[in-house]
Chain A
Amino acid sequence: MSIDLFKNLCNKWIDFALRRSRVVLFIYALLIVGGLWSVAHIRLDYMTDSFFDPTTHNFIETKKIEKEFNIGSGEALVVLHADDIFTEKNLRFIDKLTLQFENMKYVEDVISLTTVNDILGEKDNFIVEKLIEEVPSGSDALQDLRKKATTNPLFAKNVISPDGKTAGIIVQVSEVPELLGGEKRIVVENIEKILASGIPAGMEIHLSGGIPLSYYYSEFMAHDMSIFLPLALVLMIATLFIAFRKVKVMAAPAAGTSVSLLFTMSLFYLFDLPLNNVTVVVPPVIMGCIVGDSLHFVMHTLRKRGKDKTLLLASSMRELFIPCFMTSITTFGGFISLVSSDSPAVRQMGAIAGAGMLIGWFVTFTFLPALMMQIKGLGGSLVDEMKVEDSDSGVNRLLSGICDFIIRYSKIIVIAWLALGCAVLPGILNIKVESSLLAQLDSNSQIYKSVVFTEKNLTGIQLLHFSFKTQSENGIKNPAILRQMEKLQRHLETMPEVDKTMSVVDYLKQMNKSFHEEKNEFYVVPETREMVSQYTLLYGEDDLEKLVDSGWSWGLVTARMKERNSAEYIRILAEMRGYVRDNISGPFDIEIVGPTVTEAEGVTTVTNGQIRSLIQSFCIVFGLMFIMFRSFSAGFVSMMPNVIPLMINFGIMGFFGIRLDTATSIISAVTLGIIVDHTIHYVHGFGKNLRKTGNYEFAMRETMMEKGSAMIFTTAILMCSFGVAIFSNFVPIFQFGLLCTGLMITAMIGDMLVIPALAIWFKPRFHGSDAKIVDGRK
């Protein structure tokens, strides 16, 4: 009943697509216009938050801190380096830059040597003035200024290096949520314009900090967008041309693929999802996956004899309806397994790419045949012409040679394949996980160099917060708690990985000293709560808001860290947690949070995501194959050629030190669904041919000739689609492209050599093939 109903529906569908092809194309034309409009309105996400799990305690607490203390990724750091910053010319330049930055749009505040306030206590006076009211000119005055600036803990490693050779200008940016970070982009571009207008001789300038990092992420993303899709399209068209050698023929799959791609991308707009540096790979990947159905459909049709185009196309549609659906659903299964990832970017990638697979299948069986109906000259005569060309082609000779090779060496092929799987095991066990954002950037890129320069000469830019929460208003004013904060700071500053720590204690100590005529013995935490309260009446909230909340119930010790890889962060955090547990106590709750912890915990996100998506994609994909083939042996034959390419991929990563990260962790889920497509087509064809004769060698050879060229050209297009990712500026995306390209090759070897070899050697049963098998032969 259900099968009849399904067949009936299929027939109606096919009938409509072919006999009402103009109506179908008209509907598609309208949808294409809508799709183009949607794609033009896709948002770009310049932030890096989407890489990380937003539900973790650390992520939530970090966001709370950023909101409460008005901190976050909202800073650009302009780093100026010279033999001596304290010359009149250099200081005037810093003053000029500061004023120019202050006047820029979206800039909230600028902190530099020429804006910071200095406090000086005298016997009867308490002087609060700018560190530099007027730029001095005499060498003595400049030396005095140098000493005053470099020895003040509030300035050192903040706006000036202790050696006086490197100065920092911190540009704080107002957040405009609706611009999704676009305001930061404008600020960085304006800073760059200002810096490009000239710098003093002998001075070196670098642009660093959270905002430029986000900016260059977006720049690299835009670069990737501009390269990936056009290049993948060109390569796809070139491959199709090589495959068909007729523009009229290649136009159909090219158009079908483009339409599917357009509709898939418009989902980003429909679901209000932005493109980020993970989803940026969706277009080429989708294109490579979708083109397979179109290619199989057109090649299948061209192999048929006959003059009636409608009948030929209807026949192809009926024969490929289920196999193509199955290949699409397995690829969908692979992608959709990513939806369980903790990373929002990976989830979005999985959902959109998965949906794209279904869209691709639908377009292949509606738009493509309708279009082929309307292409003049693409009829029986052309089909015959193509057939003649086809039968004698070099590809067919190659396929025939492969068949001979398989028949002769089937056992060796299978054993060698298994041996290869075993050989890569040590590599798999050696894989390292990485979630550092800086590690995603090319070490030759300017921003990478600037971050390294900043860390070496001024301060680390990676933030870590030690959150001290008390239960009462003004709790942090308790000198006992302040002394615990100070103790922690002292310890942290002994750690080589920590560049600088800051807390409200630094201000209070400075104030205490100033109120005691600058005597060094008073550079200590004030003795009483009253002193703390009274001192802080003199500080504007702007100075302290990044260190203590307005009610003084919550304070921070913020550490600036040097950039490290994830494994080191994990070690450092464990050490810090141990110290805090054993040495810091009082009437407060303390925990360590911040971007550094987010990156360290990203390792867990990546690892868990990898394990989960691997298991899920295996279950979904191979479960579907077992169901489809309704044969355990056919299912087993299908698995082996696909599992080992994945093992080889992980082995290469381990051997060559390629880290498992947000991008490389999705390889298995993305590619498994793709590489089994060939297997499905091959095993499906093999079963069909085996049922005809019961002869395994005949079935193998016949299937190879039917499916082989489509497999080769689809693999070539997939390699091109993934291969374009090697032009990315992001290291993980580059590695993703390289590894996926390699995986396509090994998977094709698995499908074209190992499956036939297994079938020849073990002669597995295929659903419905028993009736004609006699001793494995007809």
Chain B
Amino acid sequence: MRYALIVSALALFIAAGIKPAQKKLTGRQIAEKVYNRDDGADSIARMEMILVDKKGRETKRQLIMKLRDKGALNHSFLEFTEPADIAGTKFLTLEVENGDATQYLFLPALGRARRIVGGQKKQSFVNTDFSYEDMSRRKPDRDKQTLIKEEKWNGFNCYVIKVMPVKPDDSQYSKSEVWVDKQSFVVVKVDFYNKKGKKSKQLTVGKLERQAGIWTAMTATMKNFKRKTSTILLVKGIKYNTGLEEKIFALRNLEEK
């Protein structure tokens, strides 16, 4: 569920235009509504990624994110456009049936794409405060969800659910607490707890807008409490349902200029 959020946060923050529930929902039902909501068949977003170090110094990166649904699975294509020394670096992530993903990396300095193999779920994704695990979508049945309260947070009327992995080894986190906006079913806040039960990271959505009829989180911030750093994602422009072709998400396209 939180992983659906990350895809939202990093890429499109799409929400389904699902009507508010009439009767009280369970934690599991809320998670499924978030996971299954209509986020468009595809999307293209121009984004800015701001890395803030522990002294408050900022490093900015510009990127383009393309997303496309393929059945129940999600394909994403990320390309850095700035700064110059990483411009042209591309990541291709293809979800596979078992819930994992295959990732490819293209480094323009080498001119070749490589498949990234290995269990590096805990590792930081492109030196941000997001981990590879945060970047992956995750089916609700891999977690146990419990509705713990309903409250207003940052202007959003929210369900707050506790999410714990069914198998403890299946996640880098022991649990997370997730604030879901009742109106849009967009996740607006997540507190992540490490294996020792200590709050280690926090994701917050600052601005939620309706773009082409789809709720979209326009700013999101991931704070890392241990490293005292944060990563801010700003959506500078987004288009939905543009008819992105499948070949864009092919390995060959990764190596094309």
Q: Which residues in A have some Cβ–Cβ distance to B below 8 Å?
A: 102-103, 108, 117, 121, 124-130, 133, 473-474, 477, 515, 526, 528-542, 545, 549-551
Closest 7 CB pairs of A and B: A540-B124, A550-B53, A533-B85, A129-B118, A126-B114, A128-B118, A531-B109
A130 and B117 alpha carbons, distance in the complex (Å)? 11
A103 and B195 alpha carbons, distance in the complex (Å)? 8
Q: Kindly list chain A residues whose C-beta atoms are within 8 Å of the C-beta of B195.
A: 102-103
Chain A: CB-nearest residue to B91: A537
A686 and B86 alpha carbons, distance in the complex (Å)? 89
Cβ of B107 < 8 Å from any Cβ of A? yes
A133 and B120 alpha carbons, distance in the complex (Å)? 11
Cβ of B105 < 8 Å from any Cβ of A? yes
A252 and B126 alpha carbons, distance in the complex (Å)? 75
Chain B: CB-nearest residue to A127: B117
A117 and B227 alpha carbons, distance in the complex (Å)? 20
Report which of A129, A532, A538, A551 forms a contact with B117, defined as CB distance below 8 A. A129
Cβ of B172 < 8 Å from any Cβ of A? no
Q: Kindly list chain B residues whose C-beta atoms are within 8 Å of the C-beta of A474.
A: 85
Judge whether A534 and B124 touch: CB under 8 Å. no
Cβ of B119 < 8 Å from any Cβ of A? yes
Judge whether B110 and A515 touch: CB under 8 Å. yes
Judge whether A125 and B117 touch: CB under 8 Å. yes
Chain B contact residues, majority secondary structure: loop
Cβ of B108 < 8 Å from any Cβ of A? yes
A539 and B116 alpha carbons, distance in the complex (Å)? 13
Number of residue pairs A-B, CB distance < 8 angstroms: 89
Report which of B89, B115, B229 forms a contact with A534, defined as CB distance below 8 A. B89
6 pairs across A/B with beta carbons < 8 Å? Answer: A128-B123, A129-B119, A129-B120, A530-B84, A531-B109, A534-B107
A121 and B84 alpha carbons, distance in the complex (Å)? 25
Judge whether B107 and A128 touch: CB under 8 Å. no
A545 and B89 alpha carbons, distance in the complex (Å)? 22
Known contacts A128-B117, A550-B59; 5 additional CB pairs below 8 A are: A129-B118, A130-B119, A515-B107, A532-B85, A551-B59
Given A102-B195, A103-B196, A541-B124: A534 touches B86 (CB 8 Å cut-off): yes
Q: Kindly list chain B residues whose C-beta atoms are within 8 Å of the C-beta of A477.
A: 85
Q: Kindly list chain B residues whose C-beta atoms are within 8 Å of the C-beta of A130.
A: 119
Tell me how far the C-beta of B71 lies from the nearest C-beta in chain A, rounded to whole angstroms. 26
- Interface hub of A121, A533, A537, A545 (most chain B Cβ within 10 A): A537
User: Could you tell me which residues of chain B, from 78 to 111, have a CB within 8 Å of some CB in chain A?
Assistant: 83-86, 89, 105, 107-110
Q: Kindly list chain A residues whose C-beta atoms are within 8 Å of the C-beta of B108.
A: 530, 534
Judge whether B105 and A126 touch: CB under 8 Å. yes
Cβ of B252 < 8 Å from any Cβ of A? no
Chain B: CB-nearest residue to A553: B57
Report which of A117, A124, A526 forms a contact with B115, defined as CB distance below 8 A. A124
Given A531-B109, A551-B53: A537 touches B86 (CB 8 Å cut-off): yes
Judge whether A534 and B59 touch: CB under 8 Å. no
Judge whether A127 and B118 touch: CB under 8 Å. yes
Judge whether A531 and B120 touch: CB under 8 Å. no
Given A130-B119, A473-B59, A551-B57: A536 touches B114 (CB 8 Å cut-off): no
Q: Kindly list chain A residues whose C-beta atoms are within 8 Å of the C-beta of B83.
A: 533
A71 and B51 alpha carbons, distance in the complex (Å)? 21
Given A103-B196, A530-B85, A551-B57: A542 touches B124 (CB 8 Å cut-off): yes
Given A129-B119, A536-B127, A551-B53: A108 touches B226 (CB 8 Å cut-off): yes
A129 and B53 alpha carbons, distance in the complex (Å)? 27
Tell me how far the C-beta of B79 lies from the nearest C-beta in chain A, rounded to whole angstroms. 12
Judge whether A133 and B59 touch: CB under 8 Å. no
Q: Kindly list chain A residues whose C-beta atoms are within 8 Å of the C-beta of B126.
A: 537-538
Chain B: CB-nearest residue to A174: B226
Chain B: CB-nearest residue to A512: B110
Judge whether B117 and A528 touch: CB under 8 Å. no
A649 and B14 alpha carbons, distance in the complex (Å)? 81
Judge whether B120 and A515 touch: CB under 8 Å. no
Judge whether A125 and B85 touch: CB under 8 Å. no
- Interface hub of B54, B109, B116, B127 (most chain A Cβ within 10 A): B109
Q: Mark B50-77, 1 if CB is under 8 A from A, else 0.
A: 0101100101000000000000000000
